Amino acid sequence: MCRNSENQSFSLLVYRSLVLSRKSLIISILTVMSLTAMFLLILLSAEKGNIAKYSTDANNLKNTIEVMRIAGQFTPLLMLMAVPEFFSQDYGRTVWRYFKKSTPVTPFRTAASYYMLPIIYVIIAVVMMAVFMLGDYLITGEAIGKGRIAISLLAMLISVFSAVYVSFFVQLFKGSMAATVVSFFTLMVPFFVWDIKRGLNSNGNANNLSLDSISEKATPYIPLMIIGIVLIFFIGIVLSAMLYKRREK
């Protein structure tokens, strides 16, 4: 009987998900690359091209550059929206779920393999964010400060948390619609309530929470946010393993 190091490798455990998700992965990468390129082109135009040339209002121009910066920097995180989809793949095919449980792959290994693709997505998103910031620097000449890195990490932290959170419910409710409903209400409703309260408390002047103030507040927490992202993934893996171990009724 052949036993070789290639057997039971992690890459092979991920292989099935990769094949099943390759279309959405390719589409996500192409979309993010196109959007990043588009935002960089608009930024270039706003800085040195036609938008800059024909703009009559300096404030409008400044706003355009800021909006493009925000959009370009955070767009790669949209890729993480596809993460819960990986988890629902197993629930669409009952016989695969049964088959997999008949194999010697442990729940922790299974859960870790589930998270390989989301981690790849995060890496691609980080690369695309870095590409955008580099492009931004080359176009505008403005140095990338810690503030921008901090706000990117904060957005990443929120996105990773949301992806892992929704994925948890997808597994808990075995891919049913209940997962979407419950995760939406438990994740979005508190946010809306917080936002409405904030608006009321600020006497209609809710804009006091600017990106600059957030980045300023977030900067000291850069190392903690990196640890937080790793920790969220780890907790996600542990929860997935526990849910995988749960037996069918």
Identity of the residue, 91 or 221, whose beta carbon is nearer to other proteins in the bound complex: 91
The interface region with other proteins, picked from 11-19, 157-165, 189-197, 236-244 by CB under 8 A, is 11-19
- The Cα 227–Cα 241 span in angstroms is 21
Contact 156, 77 (CB under 8 A): yes
Contact 149, 225 (CB under 8 A): no
Q: Which of residues 18-37 bind other proteins (CB under 8 A)?
A: 19-20
Contact between 12 and other proteins by CB under 8 A: the answer reads yes
Identity of the residue, 7 or 201, whose beta carbon is nearer to other proteins in the bound complex: 7
- The Cα 81–Cα 84 span in angstroms is 7
Contact between 105 and other proteins by CB under 8 A: the answer reads yes
Contact between 53 and other proteins by CB under 8 A: the answer reads no
Contact 236, 112 (CB under 8 A): no
Identity of the residue, 104 or 223, whose beta carbon is nearer to other proteins in the bound complex: 104
Residue 204, token pair as written in the block = 């209609």
Q: Which of 34, 60, 66, 99 binds other proteins (CB under 8 A)?
A: 99
Contact between 3 and other proteins by CB under 8 A: the answer reads yes
- The Cα 33–Cα 80 span in angstroms is 15
The minimum distance between CB 103 and other proteins, in angstroms, equals 4
Identity of the residue, 9 or 63, whose beta carbon is nearer to other proteins in the bound complex: 9
Contact between 248 and other proteins by CB under 8 A: the answer reads yes
- The Cα 174–Cα 200 span in angstroms is 39
Contact 179, 166 (CB under 8 A): yes
Residue 196, token pair as written in the block = 């409405």
Contact between 100 and other proteins by CB under 8 A: the answer reads yes
Contact 170, 118 (CB under 8 A): no
Q: Which of 38, 44, 61, 95 binds other proteins (CB under 8 A)?
A: 95
| Interface contacts to other proteins, rule CB under 8 A | 1-3, 6-9, 11-13, 15-16, 19-20, 93, 95-96, 98-106, 247-249
